[in-house]
Amino acid sequence: MTRRDSLRLGAGLVASACLPGAWQGAHAAARSLPLGAAAARKPGIGEALLRSCGLPGASLGAYARALDSSTPLVALNPEKPFQLASTTKLVTSMAALDLLGPQFRWRTMAFVRGTMMQGRLLGDLWIVGGGNACLSVQDLQSWMAEWRKLGLREIIGDIVLDRFAFQLTERDHEHTPTPAADRPHHAWPDALTLNEGRLKVTLSPSRNGRPGVLLEPPLAGVRIEQGRSGGGGCNAWAHWSDPADAEPRISVQGSLGPGCSRREWVLAPLPHAEFTARAIAGLWRETGGQLHGRVLDKSRPDRHALMPEGPDGEPQLPFSTHISAALPELLREINKTSDNLAARNLMLALSRGFPHKPATLPAAQARMREWLARQGIAPGDVEIENGSGLSRGERAKPRAFVDLLSKAWTARQASSLIDSLPVAGVDGTLEHRMTRGAAAGQAHLKTGTLLDTRALAGYVNARSGKVYAVAALVNHPEAARATPALDAFIEWLVRAN
């Protein structure tokens, strides 16, 4: 299968749906023009579709160019920098494929600090984080089962968490939103995180209306308080409370009787260090392991933090290592679902020397700038700060963005990048967009959304057989108004000659 063929997924070539609103006329005009006239006027038509959203022209940026051409089909404010939102993840993905390679994986290691005797560890178990943002409850349960197979059943000492593969400061987060319990997608990077710091609370119906409560992962020391059921109905709810003078707790109120559906909440209630510590304690106990000490977060790094040594002074081999999926699969998670934390952790992995040397954000930014320069991108054309798009400092000129996409198309790992992108009308963040028009199955595009930004960037397979690299960016307080126009623009590109 060629790269062009790989774009022909999903719905295939289907009839266009009727287009509502102010841009219907412009779209109809594009279809009605004779072939020669259409070729001459296409740039104006494409711009008209974007401008039809009614926002000021200065708030719109677009660039589209066939991969076999040096002349753009559309160039609207091509040299003006625009906020990228989550289309930033495309740049992070390109750099990671080139600098880290498709075999890159995150590694989380467990070391024994003591003597193993008949299933008992007379000492501590150290867990050294390696930046895996995708470590899940199921992963940890499987990894703990592996510990059991290796003979570990009881830990006399402590479980010590080492999170120093990332060395971050408050300044590294100053341009990104502050995490909150009800905004799990705003979690900050961490070298040792579980479930991205997300707690799933599930309430199940029962005969007496008193909801069953399940926490995933189980958090040691978190109390579940249930009030009296209301005697009927399906009005149960759960609330996280973290008082300063007591253990955190989940308060459950209301009823969930027979015939009711399960109710679920996803929260990010605690900082990574505390969340991971409580989860590891809870899961180790749940899997049948015994712990006589505590789960401790190491307070400061030392020379043993990343390279533990054995009694002879030589580097100690890990007791067990959890290895993440390879980079192409990680990119599918990052781009299909627009995973902010995984993108930020991947950006940090670009830091030179990682994982043998702790990653810092300035080091990762420096390597990104070096990589952009090697792609022929001038300073100021593309600015990447944390790799996710949460920062409004992450900007690009539409023309420069398309230059990057065009280079990526010819790279050895192009298929891994293309396959990671949402497909219009088929999956990811585009599953419910462009579902019936010509673009369904024909556009692999990363979406971008902030309160004042809407964006699409990637590749569009035209009916003519050409493939277009495209970046369409809108920065305005009412950017949401532009979403239909962006979709219509992509539909028009599919019909381009």
pLDDT for 309 beyond 80: no
Residues 350, 427, single domain; the answer is yes
pLDDT for 37 beyond 80: no
pTM: 0.88
The confidence score (pLDDT) of residue 298 equals 82
Query: Using one digit for the tens of pLDDT, what is the confidence trace for 236-278?
Result: 998 888 777 778 899 998 999 888 999 999 988 899 899 999 9
Structure tokens at 417: 């990048």
State whether residue 331 is helix, strand or coil: helix
Residues 168, 21, single domain; the answer is no
pLDDT for 3 beyond 50: no
Query: Using one digit for the tens of pLDDT, what is the confidence trace for 171-207?
Result: 999 889 888 888 888 889 999 999 999 999 999 998 8
Residues 37, 90, single domain; the answer is yes
Give residue 294's domain range. Answer: 107-195+272-323
The confidence score (pLDDT) of residue 33 equals 32
Cα–Cα nearest to 444, from 464, 463, 461, 432: 461
Complete DSSP assignment for 32-76:
HS-HHHHHHHHHHHHHHHHHTT-S-GGGEEEEEEETT-SS-SEEE
Structure tokens at 320: 């067990």
The one-letter code for the residue type at 5 is D
Q: How far, in Å, CA of 322 to CA of 280, rounded?
A: 14
Instruction: Say which CATH number the domain at 286 has.
Output: 3.50.80.20
Q: Which residue has the higher pLDDT, 43 or 441?
A: 441
Q: How many domains does the chain have?
A: 3
Most confident of 12-21, 41-50, 126-135: 126-135
Structure tokens at 48: 């008209």
Residues 418, 367, single domain; the answer is yes
Complete DSSP assignment for 392-428:
TT-EE-HHHHHHHHHHHHTSTTHHHHHHHS-BTTTSG
Residues 138, 256, single domain; the answer is no
State whether residue 453 is helix, strand or coil: strand
C-alpha 69 chain-centroid distance: 32
Residues 15, 132, single domain; the answer is no
Give the CA distances from residue 9 to residues 2, 415, 418, 461, in Å, rounded to whole numbers and listed in that order. Answer: 12, 13, 11, 10
The last residue of one of the domains, among 230, 248, 267, is 267
- Mean pLDDT, the chain, as a whole number? 88
The confidence score (pLDDT) of residue 87 equals 98
pLDDT for 233 beyond 90: no
Q: How far, in Å, CA of 481 to CA of 63, rounded?
A: 20
pLDDT for 134 beyond 80: yes
The confidence score (pLDDT) of residue 12 equals 34
pLDDT for 15 beyond 90: no
